[in-house]
């Protein structure tokens, strides 16, 4: 299935289970604030690259909040694995959501991988993605990977989003169909 969410279109209606027991929806987050929302989808507890990424975002969590950006980490991991992520990786600020359905991950355009035998990987999990949602619920930007590598650093993303907010920089990549006769 080829799913793609385009900038300047509404992000999918999505619910999250946070490991602190709270259940939230993207619509509720947006209703409670006029801030951007950054959703960091990570592969799961088995991924050392995810560990480095989440620790990086955790270190900058308050910087994102101060800049007007709500930040969440999300995986298809079950509650036990998500709790290990929080405890063993020292994620003490960044909210972590768990049990994100594979079908919903696919709806967001994330790639799904099958766990390798004799590994700590779950049977199936989503590959990483990052989605920035505007206060009006529209997708502003996304970065989707098929592998654990090449993810933006928190400070680089934060600098870009600060510029975006200050200058009301428009979302790019919004063209959904290239028609004959368009030249670049």
Q: What is the pLDDT of residue 178?
A: 76
How many other C-beta atoms can be found within 10 angstroms of the C-beta atom of residue 160?
14
Does residue 180 sit within a domain?
no
- Number of domains the chain contains: 1
Does residue 2 sit within a domain?
no
Does residue 139 sit within a domain?
yes
Mean per-residue pLDDT, 106-116: 96
Mean per-residue pLDDT, 11-29: 92
Does residue 96 sit within a domain?
yes
Query: Among 107, 63, 99, 57, which Cα is nearest to 81's?
Result: 99
Query: Among 97, 129, 124, 126, which Cα is nearest to 26's?
Result: 97
Does residue 173 sit within a domain?
no
| Confidence tier at 173 by pLDDT (50, 70, 90) | very high
Q: What is the pLDDT of residue 183?
A: 55
Mean pLDDT of the chain: 93
Mean per-residue pLDDT, 152-168: 96
Does residue 36 sit within a domain?
yes
Does residue 181 sit within a domain?
no
Mean per-residue pLDDT, 16-40: 88
Q: Is residue 54 within a helix (H) or strand (E), and if so which, with residue range?
A: helix 48-59
Share above pLDDT 70 across residues of the chain, in percent, rounded to a whole number: 95
Domain enclosing residue 157, as ranges: 15-165
The full 3-state SS of 87-146, as one line of letters, equals HHHCCCCCCEEECCCHHHHHHCCCCEEECCCCCCCCCEEECCEEEEECCCCEEEEEEECC
Q: What is the pLDDT of residue 2?
A: 62
User: Of 159 and 178, which is predicted with more confidence?
Assistant: 159
CA distance 144 to 100: 16
Does residue 27 sit within a domain?
yes
Please enumerate in sequence order all residues whose Cβ is within 8 A of that of 148, keeping only pairs 6 or more positions apart, or say none. Answer: 43, 47, 49, 50, 127, 128
Tokens of 109: 């355009």
Please say whether the dihedral angle defined by the alpha carbons of residues 171, 137, 143 and 152, taken in this order, is positive or negative. positive
Q: What is the pLDDT of residue 36?
A: 94
Q: What is the pLDDT of residues 33-92, one digit of tens each?
A: 778 999 999 999 999 999 999 999 999 999 999 999 999 999 999 999 999 999 999 999
| Confidence tier at 3 by pLDDT (50, 70, 90) | confident
CA distance 140 to 170: 8
CATH code, domain carrying 51: 3.40.30.10
């Amino acid at each position: 299935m080829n799913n793609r969410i385009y900038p300047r279109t509404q992000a999918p209606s999505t619910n999250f289970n946070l490991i602190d027991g709270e259940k939230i929806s993207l619509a509720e987050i947006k209703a409670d604030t006029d801030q951007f929302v950054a959703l960091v989808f990570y592969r799961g507890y088995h991924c050392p690259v995810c560990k480095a990424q989440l620790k990086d975002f955790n270190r900058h969590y308050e910087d994102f909040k101060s800049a007007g950006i709500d930040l969440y980490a999300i995986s298809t991991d079950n509650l036990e694995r998500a709790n290990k992520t929080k405890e063993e990786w020292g994620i003490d600020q960044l909210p972590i959501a768990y049990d994100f359905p594979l079908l919903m991950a696919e709806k967001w355009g994330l790639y799904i991988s099958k766990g390798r035998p004799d590994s700590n990987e779950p049977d199936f999990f989503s590959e990483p993605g990052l989605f920035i949602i505007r206060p009006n619920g529209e997708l502003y930007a996304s970065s989707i990977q098929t592998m654990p590598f090449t993810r933006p650093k928190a400070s680089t993303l934060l600098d870009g989003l600060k510029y975006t907010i200050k200058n009301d920089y428009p979302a790019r990549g919004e063209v959904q169909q290239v028609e004959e006769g368009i030249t670049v």
